Amino acid sequence: MLVELWKPNLFCWRFLRRGSSAFAIRDHPPTADCKLAFGRYSGLSFGEVLRSQPGYCAWVVNNTSTEPKYQRFQVYIRQAFSDCDATSAMKDISSTSLLERPLRDNGHGFSCSEVVHLALEAANVQKAGCIPDELLIRELTFVSLEMMSEFECHYLSMMASSFAIINPQDPNLWNELAAVIVFHMRSFSAKQLAIIAWSFANAGYHEPELFQAVADASLAQMSSFSPREMVTLVVNFAIAGQDDGRLFDAVSTAAVVSIKSFSPSDLINTVRSFAKVSRADADLFESVAKSSMASIDAFTPKQLSIIASSFASVRTENIDLFAAIAHETQRKITLFSPQGMAVTVWAFARLAIHESMLFESIAAESIIKIKGFTSQGLANTAWAFASVRIEHDQLLATISTQAQTNITSFNPIDLFQIAWSFAKLGRHDRQLFEQLVPVVLATICTLSCQHTANIAWAFAAVGRNDVGLFRALALHAIATIQDFHLQELAQLAWAFVEADLLRESAIVRLTDTIIARARANDWVHLALERGPQRPHTIESKCAAIVCALVPGTSLNRYHQLGFEMDMVFEGVNGQCIDFEIDELYHRSPRQRAVDARRDAFLQQLGVRILRFDPFDVAGRERTDLQQAITDKLRMAGVVAHFSFTRRRSVT
């Protein structure tokens, strides 16, 4: 029998080791039309010999020669056998599987150690970059399932680690393996528990019951874990998305005690795993920061970027650590990959750490390596510079060129992020925004609410008022309006008020839809945050007068839908009054139109608008400023109201 002649030894792997012709066979697999170049049937095709000479094929398969002429035919026979069924041309060759070998004392024809040994060898072959024999892997899986209850604990952990590499996608195998491992869970050592966590996480088997059992067993012997085993444990819990609070707390406590024995990679993997499950344990991160600073010069560029991004992901700022990272990054900047630079600059920007020399170093090196950036790397870099308000002209121009060159192949979402970043810096790159219009229109139906709002905001902020683009965004927003959160709705409202567009039906419908959505959710009040104060300006001078006339006036407040209001106080019947100081730029026709749209929008949300121009016709500050403001408020019925009533002010 063909398969019966195969031995449960390393022959099946030997012909795939490096140095053999395995790679040539893999790249040019044999077919039925290939001609045999040796032996009595030389000149016949592989297919003819396979159909007519099963005994000869069995001899070839069992031949241990490493000569390519044998190996190509061996590979073809195995592949043909693995693809065969009851009606194939292989029907003359027995399909007896490894499970039907003559039984040994244990009833399977294999010992547990043989199966584990073969699985480990197969995993080693695959890790070396070769392709193990698929048929034997399948047979190993069948045998393992049949023998599962016979494996001892040390074999089970080795089986799991091997199959995580050679057969991670067989649900039956992993379900059975999980059941047996859970049954024996209390018998595993700390090292074996770490291996089990790694195996199941990397096999994509993320069932909570299995990981809860691993956590319970690990907690019972936490003192037995070495630093590397602890790190392996939490890293793979994080990979599997298993945020077991008890386990992470225990590892955090143990790690703080033994932090001095952690290697740089252990330190990095620890905080990365905690960040992945959004855990920012203050004591742990502080200990990791101190220990990292002591050996920061030994960190590789990749490790520097990872530790920075891990702290930033959970918004944990450590000034001393980031100063050390900045210094070391500048020292090793030429060794950084494009991805490493993008991740590092993103981390500093996320924590609002304005290290100007670091940003300059990253900008200079990024320009040199710009072609190595992915679209996400470019987007993260642009976002970082925009977030800390550093407008590096040469870098931004290079990012724009690279984005335009790859406009059809880059991820559209990353392109939109670049546009948002440029708009944040007030940079209107006409060519870039022009090329983005068809990209937006082509992907409009796939845009999330956040992306819709960001795109509208970016184009409005730079004054790119493309009617077709805004019409498409309006229609898409109307269709998905129930999914918009407050911040997204506010950004969308600002964009369509700011954009200088004709009041066509789609735009009007969107405005009405936004207002209806805001009313339905009671988003019609003042937000908690305040805008920046502007001392020594005409606005601040007017504010002092208004505050004296109207007690309780609140300055630079935002409406929940994002519009800033210069001065706010409460009028008759509790109505919110917005007193706007119009500086000279408000006299331009475009700004007057924007002001009119803004005021009409806020009025529909119940806000009364009062506008005051503090300049005379020549553009000079009015000499009767206080009297003019008093008259304005009196005519609006505000001063009289506050003279006779002491209503609660808006705060």
Mind giving me the DSSP string for 271-291?
Answer: HHHHHHTT---HHHHHHHHHH
For 416-464, write each residue's pLDDT tens digit.
999 999 999 999 999 999 999 999 999 999 999 999 999 999 999 999 9
Q: Is the pLDDT of residue 583 over 90?
A: yes
Q: Which residue has the higher pLDDT, 278 or 7?
A: 278
**pLDDT greater at residue 115 or residue 404:** 404
- What does 182-204 look like in DSSP terms, one character per residue? HHTGGG--HHHHHHHHHHHHHTT
pLDDT of 139 > 90? The answer is: no
pLDDT category at 640 given cuts 50, 70, 90 is low
Average pLDDT value for residue range 324-329: 98
Mean pLDDT rounded to a whole number for the chain: 87
Share of the chain above pLDDT 70, in %: 88
DSSP letter at 634? H
pLDDT at 196: 97
Q: Among 251, 113, 120, which Cα is nearest to 194's?
A: 251
Give phi and psi for 410, each to the nearest 5.
Answer: -75, 155
What HEC string does 433-466 produce? Answer: HHHHHHHHHHHHHHCCHHHHHHHHHHHHHCCCCC
pLDDT band at 109 (very low <50, low <70, confident <90, very high): low
* First-last CA distance in the chain: 89
Confidence of residue 594 (pLDDT cuts 50, 70, 90): very high
What pLDDT is recorded for position 64? 52
Under 8 Å CB-to-CB from 509, ≥6 apart: which residues?
474, 478
Range with the largest mean pLDDT of 24-38, 117-131, 138-152, 439-453: 439-453
pLDDT (average), residues 559-570: 94
- Burial class (CB within 10 angstroms; exposed 0-12, middle 13-18, buried 19+) of 620: exposed
pLDDT of residue 611: 97
pLDDT digit string (tens) for 538-553? Answer: 999 999 999 999 999 9
pLDDT score for 42: 87
Q: Across-strand partners of 558?
A: 564
Domain 526-644 falls in which CATH fold? Endonuclease; Chain A (3.40.960)
- Quick: pLDDT tens for 233-248: 999 999 999 999 999 9
- The residues pairing with 579 across neighbouring beta strands, listed in sequence order, are 567, 610
Residues 76 and 71: their CA atoms lie apart, in Å, by 9
| Order of strands, sheet of 554-559, starting from the edge strand that comes earlier in the sequence | 526-530, 554-559, 564-570, 576-581, 607-612
Residue position matching structure tokens 């006339």: 549
Q: Give pLDDT tens digits for 24-68.
A: 455 567 888 888 888 888 889 988 988 888 778 877 776 655 466
Per DSSP (E only), the strands in 472-586 are: 526-530, 554-559, 564-570, 576-581
Residue with the bigger pLDDT between 92 and 196: it is: 196
Give yes or no for residue 499 having a pLDDT over 60.
yes
Q: Where are the domains of the chain?
A: 11-96, 526-644
Residue 195 bridge partners (DSSP): none
Looking at residue 25, its pLDDT comes to 52
Q: How many residues does this entry show for the chain?
A: 651
Q: Would you state the structure tokens that stand for residue 258, as one six-digit string?
A: 């033994």
Q: Where are the beta strands (DSSP E) in 437-563?
A: 526-530, 554-559
pLDDT at 486: 96
Q: CB–CB of 362/333 below 8 Å?
A: yes
pTM: 0.77
Residue 67 pLDDT: 61
Cα–Cα distance measured from residue 468 to residue 474, given in angstroms and rounded to the nearest whole number: 10
pLDDT given at position 107: 41
pLDDT score of 27 = 54
